[in-house]
Structure 1
């Protein structure tokens, strides 16, 4: 009973953070401050949203997905991000328990969620999020006395992806990867170390390639040559897998090749 209550609390906390992530996702790529205005507003009419219309998950369904003032449609993405972040909070709690590990694990996943949706919409990964993630990873590794592994992970992760981007640009003459993806791997490597960084790149690339092939096949024939997908969401997904199952994956792989 006590654990069920804690799970509910962590879900509520996560959904509140998810509401903040919606602000981050909307404002940062548009060059807007996340501090000012200090209140949420309707993107259609600009009207200030009252606190009782801004309760995570509940308000969306109470208002039936419409702004109270202009009746403009509110994207289902807002409650989805809140729900997703609530689930992420619970998963982080179940993995780490009540410890400082929860803060860094949940922080990592929250940044991955924000990066995913920003990259989907704008094909960019903001430097601010990568820098915050990198600093958090370094601090977390320092606390765990694993700083060298963290720095090595950042170097290998970013360096490996930069090398791929450079080769692609050199031989194809077009940019295949953005520097945001490269900087993101410095952030991921700071958390996961060298093995986790390489796992993220290879698994993210594989999933992205499969999604790209399916997407290109389903797209209109005249657009197939121009079909593009953001890489950040696939890196994020692979990185989250490693955050939760990294020890098992690493022990299985390294044990299998020794």
Structure 2
């Protein structure tokens, strides 16, 4: 059988169809992974509302959501437009990636470099998943970063030009050169951003809530298994995962009054960590054994991060995928885009913002042509 050349427009259609099918699976990953559910069990997708299994005939990418008008066919509950957007976005990115990748290898006969489209597609799938998970849950699952790093190194080995899109010939244009530059990109991305995190922790590691008069505070149990524990103090509210990033993080409350499991007890300093609570009388209670915790206080010290370690691992993925120069570009572009996003969203100063989506957007801009900015800058500098 004779196939059209790989730069033929027909392959763009095929890439789009593959992309929307992968996007359908990514919706499963985005929904299940952050709440600890298996992406393979149950194998069939189900309605987030009534939990009814969705048969294959009602699970066609893009089409089903449009035909059903964003509602479940069984319970009539609303199905988020996110499902449609993830499928469409993945399809478009797969198509654009095919066009970019095929433009970087000689036209005509299939060569080893063409195989790099597979790990690149995998990387795009990882980035789409991280974008929506981080935007909703403020976390970047480590398993996505690890698998993305492996795919990035494989892509760099199969097509070394990925880590040197501008063709500066920093390293030899062979598989070993691609591997070295990919490793250098990972080191620079991971450890460079880790240094930023450590400096940010030193400068902004704690925030203090103070009130002239005692205000009510309490821990609120989640309504469902998918929701976090909430900490309320006065008019402020923080979810559990916005407070505790590491085992060493502590929420310290100078309680004027204290009620534990419905019984008033000795007031004083209450220290809450990710696994439990230490009371002023010396008792320690595991979170899962605690029925209720509340009281009044004038002061609380809350740990916070300038940036999470999930962003650090993601920066390593970007560096391994696109090389050291992309690390600087993605970080700079991501920071500028985050500022614009905060201004457009009217997000107040000090409010935590998911940085992963902006880093990913910066990396994709580099991949889809932003490297020309770096090329222009270096040419002008010379």
TM-score (ref. length: structure 1):
0.92
Higher deviation after alignment, 231-240 or 155-164: 155-164
> Which of 74, 77, 85 matches 2:90?
85
C-alpha contact (below 8 Å) 1:10/1:86 kept by paired residues: yes
- Aligned positions of 1:102-141 closer than 5 A: 102-141=117-156
Task: Please report how far the alpha carbon of residue 165 of structure 1 lies from its aligned counterpart in structure 2 after TM superposition.
Answer: 1.1
Cα distance in 1 between the residues matched to 2:81 and 2:362: 25
Partner Cα distance (1:162, 1:42) in 2: 39
How far has the Cα of 1:251 moved from its partner? Answer: 2.3
Do 1:105 and 1:243's aligned partners in 2 also have CA atoms closer than 8 Å?
Answer: no
Q: Deviation at 1:148?
A: 1.2
Give deviations 1:74-95, integer Å, cap 9, x for gaps: 1111011101111111101111
Residue in structure 2 matched with residue 197 of structure 1 by the alignment:
327
Q: What's the offset of the Cα at 1:110?
A: 1.8
Q: Show CA shifts across 1:74-128 (max 9, x none).
A: 1111011101111111101111237223223322222111110000000001101
Q: Report what 1:166 is aligned to.
A: 198
User: Would you say how many aligned residue pairs link Structure 1 and Structure 2?
Assistant: 251
Which residue does 2:47 correspond to in 1?
42
Q: Which has the larger radius of gyration?
A: 2
Gaps of 5+ in 2: 103-109, 161-174, 206-303
2:323 match: secondary structure: helix
Are 1:9 and 2:27 matched, yes or no?
no
Where in structure 1 are there 5+ consecutive unaligned residues? none
Deviations 1:21-59 (A, max 9, x none): 101111111111111111101111111100000000111
Matches within 5 A, 1:47-62: 47-62=52-67
CA distance in 1, matches of 2:156, 2:122: 14
- Counterpart of 2:361? 237
Q: Offset at 1:246? A: 5.1
- Greater helix share, 1 or 2? 1
Query: Do the aligned partners of 2:119 and 2:154 also contact (CA within 8 Å) in 1?
Result: no
**Structure 1 residues 34 and 229, CA gap change in structure 2 (3 angstroms):** same
- Greater strand share, structure number: 2
Name the SS for the 1:28 alignment partner.
helix
Alignment partner, residue 250 of structure 1: 374
Judged with a 3 Å threshold, the aligned counterparts in structure 2 of structure 1 residues 103 and 128 are, in CA distance, closer, same or farther, namely: same
How big is the alpha-carbon RMSD for the aligned residues of Structure 1 and Structure 2?
1.6
Moved more, 55-64 or 90-99: 90-99
- 2:233 is matched with which residue? none
When the two structures are superposed, what TM-score results if normalisation uses the length of structure 2?
0.63
Q: What's 1:26 paired with?
A: 31
How far is 1:141 from its partner?
Answer: 2.0
Distance 1:247 1:227, change over 3 A: closer
Q: Counterparts of 1:210 and 1:247 in 2: how far apart (Å)?
A: 21
